[in-house]
Amino acid sequence: MSAADPQPASTAVPPSRLQLPPGPWTSLLDGLCARFPAIDRATWLDRFARGRVHDAQGRSLTADTVYRAGMEILYFREVAREPAIPFAERVLYRDTRLLVVDKPHFLPVAPAGAFVNETLLGRLQRQFGEPGLAPLHRLDRGTAGVVMFSREPATRDAYQALFRERRIFKRYEALAAPLPELRFPLLHRSRIVPGEPFFLMREVEGEANSETRIEVIARDGPLWRYGLEPVSGRKHQLRVHMASLGAAIANDGFYPLAAQVEDDFTRPLKLLARSLRFVDPLDGVERCFVSGFEL
């Protein structure tokens, strides 16, 4: 099964927020064209004409609005044909502060690229009527598993600190080629930096900025099941580390880079965010959330 038929023209709800950075532009139109070079001037003019750019209070702005660094604006991301993802998320836990969800493969956590509404965040905001819902961390679009959201702005930073200060225990599972020549468990440390094309990462010489604990859970069949525990949180870290060991995660189209084609829903990336475990910073309760998906 390949990608589902795209949906009609789609506009992100709620809008995206942007704090204008310092710059030489005199008009808001010029500043936005410079900030988003992939969106042409005519598209921005059309959005202004349709009232799709607002100030922080929700008032429509015009193309010739004076550009002021530090000003916050709201704009509605739009795509002409948004792909539909035919898999459903599952709610694992919900209280007044947190919403914990099992994300399916292929569904992005937040708007990006061709996706504005067909995202985990967008689905949950619509389902629960909570435009202020915010993800506390991210998973790659291709990765399935546990994602935690904050429902309450007043307590959000306390939970974000769990990730900043590495006080949360994350465990992943992956299917990849056997590595019989290595001794497990092992700790893989390396320096990861942006690569080429722009959406890839790569390992280079230098002081390590990424660290992953790796063990073998099962050795049956042509693929082994690995347990992965990221100590750090670099982009694509687990995928880069497994590929560098000689065992790229099954169905990974980035490491190594394959020809980019539409999604094949029968071949998901075999990477799952199996669990999140932490001591709740507000009530001291130890919490553990486990994905119900299987690879």
- Tens of pLDDT along 176-196? 999 999 999 999 999 999 999
Q: Write a three-state SS string for 89-106.
A: CEEEEECCCEEEEEECCC
What DSSP element (H or E) covers 216?
Answer: strand 210-218
- Mean of pLDDT over the chain: 93
Determine the pLDDT at residue 1: 54
* Six token digits for residue 14: 């709620």
Q: What average pLDDT does range 261-267 have in this prediction?
A: 90
Determine the pLDDT at residue 80: 67
Coil, helix or strand at residue 34? helix
Asked if pLDDT for residue 113 goes beyond 80, the answer is no
- Does 95 qualify as catalytic in the annotation? no
User: What residues contact residue 212 under an 8 Å CB cut-off, 6+ apart?
Assistant: 187, 188, 228, 229, 230, 231, 232, 237, 238, 241
Determine the pLDDT at residue 8: 47
Could you tell me the maximum CA-CA distance found in the chain, to the nearest angstrom?
A: 64
User: What residues contact residue 284 under an 8 Å CB cut-off, 6+ apart?
Assistant: none
Coil, helix or strand at residue 46? helix
The span from the CA of 155 to the CA of 176, in Å, is 39
Q: Which of 140, 220, 252, 280 is catalytic?
A: 140
Q: How do residues 68-88 score in pLDDT, each as one tens digit?
A: 999 999 998 777 678 889 999
Which of 4-18, 44-58, 180-194, 241-255 comes out lowest in average pLDDT?
4-18
CA of residue 42 relative to chain centroid, distance: 29
% the chain with pLDDT above 70: 95
Q: What dihedral angle (degrees, nearest 10) is formed by the CA atoms of 217, 219, 220, 222?
A: 120
Higher pLDDT, residue 2 or 283: 283
Determine the pLDDT at residue 83: 83
Question: Which domains does the chain carry?
Answer: 10-79 (3.10.290.10), 90-167 (3.30.2350.10), 171-271 (3.30.2350.10)
- Residue 161 identity (one-letter amino acid): A
Binning the chain into helix, strand and coil, the percentages to the nearest 5 are: 15, 35, 50
Residue with the two structure tokens 């669990």: 275
The span from the CA of 225 to the CA of 220, in Å, is 8
What residues form DSSP beta bridges with 168? 278
Q: How do residues 119-149 score in pLDDT, each as one tens digit?
A: 999 999 999 999 889 999 999 999 999 999 9
Determine the pLDDT at residue 134: 94
